[in-house]
Amino acid sequence: MNLTSPFSIAIVAITGLALLGLPIGLSMICGSILYLSMNGMDMGTAAEQFLNGMYSNYIILAVPLFIFAAEIMNSGSMTERLLRFCNVLVGHFRGGLAQINVVQSLIFAGMSGSAIADAAGSGRMMQNMMTRENRYTPSYAAALTAVTAVIGPILPPSIPMVIYALVSDASIGYLFLAGVVPGLLMTALQMVQVGWDARRLNFPVEQRVPLREIPRVTWQAFPTLLMPVILLGCIYSGVTTPTEAAALAAAYAVLVSVVIYRSLSWREGYGAILVSAKTSASIGMMIGGALVFNYVVTIENIPETLRAILQGWELTPLQFLLLVNVILLLLGCVLEGTAVLLIIVPVFIPAAQALGIDLVHFGVVVVVNIMLGLVTPPYGLLLFIMTNISGSPMKAIIRDCLPFLGWMLLCLILITLFPEISLWLPRLAGYEG
């Protein structure tokens, strides 16, 4: 690569601005405008790509709607009632509170689509419950909350899969289905590790919920548990598109919190709207910046160049997937997941297609990689969130995360080696890819 070419200078500008603290979305826009200027092209093309990409992609609307639904759940009492129900299921086992943490993430995954929402929402409650009376160390409770939150975006609905569908044109519905078995597999492996830790470290056994209380707790949680059923049922029955289902999820969360549970005040509702707007604006700016920068990448013919290089290496599909895994795992240590999805993954997609790799399977592999990046140092975002919530040193949280990371890497390897783990459910639903 010519280090004095407009593209190289644009890359240096984007990197420099990001290191100086400018949001990555704005950094990409500035670097792309610099590239257009140096090539004598109309700089207004940047605005054209931004607006056309943002307003012509109906799918993007699903992102703020899922974020809003998750914020409403966390502001009302839906999450609290969900935890009580999980206590009925697994609370009486040794290490029951730890198992509750895993199971609540599994159920919450069917509602929010966001690992950050999961950790920030139920994370504080689980931290308080697990560390009360010194039942668990703060670092173990924080580490467990971080790794279980990773399950959220693998199971449907999933905001990262929505973004992947945006850059790959893969079917969101089939992507959602493809994440079910990998998500359940990861959940099972995490529960195995918790069970092992419970026996090894002699975790406490929680008091069993009296039999007479189980119907009441279940009935109180029923409206919350109904949310993923309605959401996914509407998508796969063809009643709604995934974006319309996201709007339905947000409306249902408001209905349950305000009308049924009566647990959402005006102040809390307004706060949820503000947080959702800020988060959506941040993600939206990153998506817009990536759309502009991807136009520059297309002009430079980077995807086709990469495809030619990889074909020259004569990689098999499996070798390519293993290479992508290594690259994404390394990038996940230093880059935010959405940035990787929007900037790096589109470059790999033409090569994957040329090698005959199914884009739905590839999407699951990509999303699992990016979720692992949320709990890998030094930039793991979930590590920072749980450090702030728990007050534990990050070093201690990372130490307690390591056994779970080993299981999650095993899950990634299995998904990579055996595509049918991801594609079995989509094929049952008629997928022919």
CA distance 368 to 185: 12
**pLDDT value, residue 414:** 95
Who has greater pLDDT, 231 or 116? Answer: 231
Q: Using one digit for the tens of pLDDT, what is the confidence trace for 159-200?
A: 888 889 888 888 888 998 999 999 999 999 998 998 898 888
pLDDT at 298 over 90: no
Helices (H), 169-316: 172-178, 180-201, 214-236, 242-255, 266-299, 302-313
Q: How many CB atoms lie within 10 A of CB 114?
A: 26
Per-residue pLDDT band at 1 (split at 50, 70, 90): low
Quick one: DSSP state of residue 204? Answer: P
**pLDDT value, residue 57:** 67
Q: Using one digit for the tens of pLDDT, what is the confidence trace for 11-28?
A: 888 888 877 878 877 888
49-58, 306-315, 351-360, 424-433: least confidently modelled range: 49-58
Q: Under the phi-then-psi rule, with left for phi > 0, alpha for psi from -120 to 50, and beta for the rest, what region is 316?
A: beta
- Looking at the chain, the number of H-run helices and the number of E-run strands are 22, 0
CA distance 330 to 332: 5
**pTM of this structure:** 0.80
To which residue do tokens 């140092």 refer? Answer: 377
Per-residue pLDDT band at 367 (split at 50, 70, 90): very high
Per-residue pLDDT band at 362 (split at 50, 70, 90): very high
Q: Using one digit for the tens of pLDDT, what is the confidence trace for 258-283?
A: 888 888 788 888 888 888 888 778 77
Three-state secondary-structure class, residue 94: strand
**pLDDT value, residue 110:** 60
Contact 43, 225 (CB under 8 A): no
CA distance 301 to 291: 15
User: Identity (one letter) of the amino acid at 282?
Assistant: S
Cα angle at 159 between 155 and 161, to 5 degrees? Answer: 70
Q: Give me the chain's average pLDDT, please.
A: 81
Largest interatomic CA distance in the chain: 76
Q: Using one digit for the tens of pLDDT, what is the confidence trace for 62-83?
A: 778 877 887 787 776 777 777 7
For residue 293, give the nearest of 167, 421, 116 by alpha carbon.
Answer: 167
Q: Using one digit for the tens of pLDDT, what is the confidence trace for 110-159?
A: 665 566 666 666 666 777 777 776 778 888 888 888 888 888 788 887 88
Q: Under the phi-then-psi rule, with left for phi > 0, alpha for psi from -120 to 50, and beta for the rest, what region is 93?
A: beta
Q: How many CB atoms lie within 10 A of CB 99?
A: 25
**pLDDT value, residue 184:** 92
Phi, psi of 205 (to 5 degrees): -100, 125
